[in-house]
Structure 1
Amino acid sequence: MTARPVELAVESVRYEVDGHTLLHGVDLTARPGESVGVVGPNGSGKTTLLRCVYGTLLPTGGRVLLDGADAAALGVKDRARRVAVVPQDASGAFGLTVREVVAMGRSPHKRFWEQDGPDDVRRVAEALETVGAAAFATRRFDDLSGGERQRALVARALVQDPGLLALDEPTNHLDIRYQLEVLALVRALPATGLLVLHDLNLAAAFCDRLYVMSGGRVAATGTPEEVLTEELLAEVYGVRTRIGIHPDTGTPNIVYLPVVAGRGGAVASPAQSPPLHG
């Protein structure tokens, strides 16, 4: 049975640590089945926000609601039935094979120490095939490359059958083909998607709405067309760009203008970034 997509509401979430405020009253919503991207420069609060959503960090103010229920009041297993996580990287598999790591995604739906049944085995096999990890299913997770690990982590999230899929840089370490395939897969799932992404062209192509973070606050929110402007990227990222419309997808396509040292000061010369990474 496929879980129904979750409605996410982040209300005035703050997070402080050692006297430093990393999130300043952030508001964010994701409607059921929507793919929402969180973008922004390094240190802007993207990963901190995501961790508050999936529960590894407890907000010091505000709250996170999953279908109207306060996430902080949910038990670990109940929360895991609703939210699956793909972190930037994972360790601590302690000699487990890829298949065993992926099968861990079924744990929230089973009793303690309950063995895998035929449906669990089928789901794991299908997820491994879907992300292109079937060929190394018997290898130790700890021995994998970064890209192989990332695909295994996505497979684990898939078999968890979540209503909300939270992904922190899901395309990290992946080559271009798997970047596109993983994001297309996430977009096609019935689950609500919350994705932290660095690549703005990928965010524009695969997200319904974007939240731009800067200094622990939301600098802008809206559709990719509304948010990804040359003025905003100059203000938030400190870069010059030219933004057009991709001829195939109809989504914004960003061309970065690198600074080249020249006589009399810096001169910007156009350099086309790979459209949508492929």
Structure 2
Amino acid sequence: MSAELRVEGLSYSVDGHELVHAVDLTAAPGETIGLVGPNGSGKTTLLRCVYGTLRPTAGHALLDGADLHTMTHKARAQRLATVPQDGQTDFELTVREVVAMGRSPHKRFWEADNAADAALADAALDRVGIRPLADRTFPSLSGGERQRALVARALVQQPALLVLDEPTNHLDIRYQLDILTLISRSGTTNLLALHDLNLAAYYCDRLYVLQAGRVVASGTPRDVLTPGLLAAVYEVSAEVSTHPTTGAPTVTYLP
């Protein structure tokens, strides 16, 4: 299941300082949309406004036309799952218990997990490659293992929209590719922030480039990732070629 996301004129300010300015963004059902831009460009703040940790000071985030910020927490969690950057928990829960938490939006208060819930959790653990770690405590995991557990929890939530902030953080290259492939094939609508432009070019249908809280470019990776834009936004010299196997634009940075 997937849904249409529309971000309309969304802004967020703190103490008169505007961190996100009048962002318009769309994601069609099933699309994978990437947010790219240098550090401090507003990617994480925008994502937090979409998934509800922050309330926009102007504008809206709409999922199939419904304002995400007027939904109850439970109703929003039934439609939207998030993997925040560097998600942490100090609770001595097992990995399986953390992943099973993704079922809570679909259950009554204190309702126990059943066999179907357990099967969904085990399947998600298999999909992200950490089933052997299921009985380990979450705090005992490495950063990359924690990241995969949080992706599994989001999948167990069975959302229409996945919002992910740097989902490849702490992952070695094999698991970066595995996780992004899994996300892109999940059947959900996906909005994710990425630092690696080559991963963004390969896995995202469209990109939005943020600079100082504003969208300065949007479109397909081929349209967006140009030497001129990289010089203007990232202040680097780069060549952009077409990968001979994948056909995706490939950025090569120059000294």
- With the shorter chain as reference, the TM-score category is over 0.9
Q: In structure 1, how many angstroms separate the alpha carbons of the residues matched to 2:49 and 2:138? A: 27
1:58 aligns with 2:18: no
Deviations, residues 208-250 of structure 1 (Å, cap 9, x unaligned): 0000000000010000000000000000000000110011110
Contact 1:37 1:196 in 2 (8 A): yes
Equivalent of 2:198 in 191, 195, 201: 201
Corresponding letter in the other structure for 1:225: R
Partner secondary structure for residue 34 of structure 2: strand
Corresponding letter in the other structure for 2:245: D
Which residue number corresponds to residue 117 of structure 1? Answer: 114
Contact 1:35 1:207 in 2 (8 A): yes
Contact 1:93 1:101 in 2 (8 A): no
How far off is 1:19 after superposition?
2.0
Which residue number corresponds to residue 9 of structure 2? Answer: 12
Equivalent of 1:101 in 98, 102, 111: 98
How far off is 1:95 after superposition?
0.5
Q: Which runs of 5+ in 2 are unaligned?
A: none
Which residue number corresponds to residue 247 of structure 1? Answer: 244
Cα distance, 1:42–1:16 mapped onto 2, change above 3 Å:
same
- Give the alignment of 1:72-111 within 5 angstroms: 72-111=69-108
Q: TM-score, normalised by structure 1?
A: 0.91
Q: In structure 2, how many angstroms separate the alpha carbons of the residues matched to 1:33 and 1:50? A: 18
- Give the alignment of 1:142-181 within 5 angstroms: 142-181=139-178
Deviations, residues 240-267 of structure 1 (Å, cap 9, x unaligned): 0011001111000010012xxxxxxxxx
Contact 1:95 1:141 in 2 (8 A): yes
- Give the alignment of 1:14-33 within 5 angstroms: 14-33=11-30
Q: In structure 1, how many angstroms separate the alpha carbons of the residues matched to 2:134 and 2:122? A: 9
Cα-Cα RMSD: 0.7
Partner secondary structure for residue 240 of structure 2: strand
Aligned residues: 255
1:185 aligns with 2:169: no
Partner secondary structure for residue 25 of structure 1: strand
Residue identity over aligned pairs, in percent, reads: 64
Partner secondary structure for residue 73 of structure 1: coil
Q: In structure 2, how many angstroms separate the alpha carbons of the residues matched to 1:21 and 1:143? A: 38
Q: Which runs of 5+ in 1 are unaligned?
A: 259-278
Q: Which has the larger radius of gyration?
A: 1
Corresponding letter in the other structure for 1:59: P
1:229 aligns with 2:226: yes
Equivalent of 1:133 in 123, 130, 134: 130
